[in-house]
Structure 1
Amino acid sequence: MKLGRLNHVGVATPSIDQAIARYRDTLGATRIHAPFDFPSQKVRVCFIDTPNAQIELLEPLGPESPLHGFLRRNPDGGQHHLCFEVEDILATRDELLGKGMRLVPTPEPRIGAHGMPVLFVHPKDMGGILVELMQSPAH
């Protein structure tokens, strides 16, 4: 496995609209994509472009969203995950499983908010950080 570029930092928030205003009005973000619902992951998503990566704002979509647990522990929201690109998602999965890493919620890749296959490495295997690995769009 070769770690690729940082694609985005996932930030959980109880309100995408308030988070957008904070990034726009406080930090001067100007490249803000329209929020969209991502029902398969039970989240509402908004990407904010920065010069070298994106910020992915995540708001729970419905009562069964997995973000509710995170927001119970962090009511104001906060960093949820880091996403790195990899060249081959299946080879990456096999290598990680061979090293005893836990992939959550399942070791099978699923389609992420960028429309590319993704995997998540359990935070306990990554020093407390949930790590998303995304198939590089170039492959």
Structure 2
Amino acid sequence: MLGRLNHVAIAVPDLAAASAVYRDTLGATLTEPQALPEHGVTVVFIDTGNTKVELLEPLGENSPIAAFLEKNPAGGMHHICYEVDDIIAARDRLKAAGARVLGDGNPTIGAHGKPVLFLHPKDFLGTLVELEQA
């Protein structure tokens, strides 16, 4: 079921400042910021060749990232994303095994234009897991 690692997401309080660290200090090439109002975030991706790093900044009052940053004001790792061949089959298998799918359980469209789901961190060793349709 589990496919390749798609990205590791880092929540940041200031996307421009975080982008500058990756660009100027690490020499990374970054995408342009992309607002995702349906997810309450603005994102920038860094391609590392074998996977990506996603920088997330809160967008709007109800951003799920805002609560994370209240607890971690400097930012930090927010979630890890894996690809799956069939997101509906993966969801059904995980639910049957007792895993909790966040939201209403239906995929939404993520930053890459593909269906995504999030899994409760308490079911995955304290890590928020995102699944993305390959």
Amino acid at match of 1:73: K
Structure 1: stretches of 5+ with no match in the other structure: none
**CA distance in structure 1 between the partners assigned to 2:26 and 2:7 by the alignment:** 17
SS state at 2:16 partner: helix
**CA distance in structure 2 between the partners assigned to 1:84 and 1:14 by the alignment:** 24
Amino acid at match of 1:18: A
**CA distance in structure 2 between the partners assigned to 1:105 and 1:76 by the alignment:** 26
Q: How many residues align?
A: 134
Is 1:8 aligned to 2:7, yes or no? yes
Is 1:43 aligned to 2:44, yes or no? no
Structure 2: stretches of 5+ with no match in the other structure: none
Pick aligned residue for 2:81 from 80, 83, 99: 83
SS state at 1:41 partner: coil
Deviation at 1:106, TM superposition (A): 2.5
Q: Aligned-residue CA RMSD in angstroms?
A: 0.8
Q: Which residue of 1 aligns with 2:66?
A: 68
| Equivalent residue runs for 1:1-139 within 5 Å | 2-29=1-28, 31-136=29-134
Instruction: Give the TM-score normalised by the residue count of structure 1.
Output: 0.94
**CA distance in structure 1 between the partners assigned to 2:104 and 2:23 by the alignment:** 35
Identical aligned residues as a percent? 56
**CA distance in structure 2 between the partners assigned to 1:65 and 1:121 by the alignment:** 17
Amino acid at match of 1:60: P
**CA distance in structure 1 between the partners assigned to 2:104 and 2:73 by the alignment:** 27
SS state at 2:118 partner: strand
SS state at 1:4 partner: strand
Instruction: Give the TM-score normalised by the residue count of structure 2.
Output: 0.97
SS state at 1:91 partner: helix
Moved over 3 A (4+): none
**CA distance in structure 2 between the partners assigned to 1:62 and 1:40 by the alignment:** 10
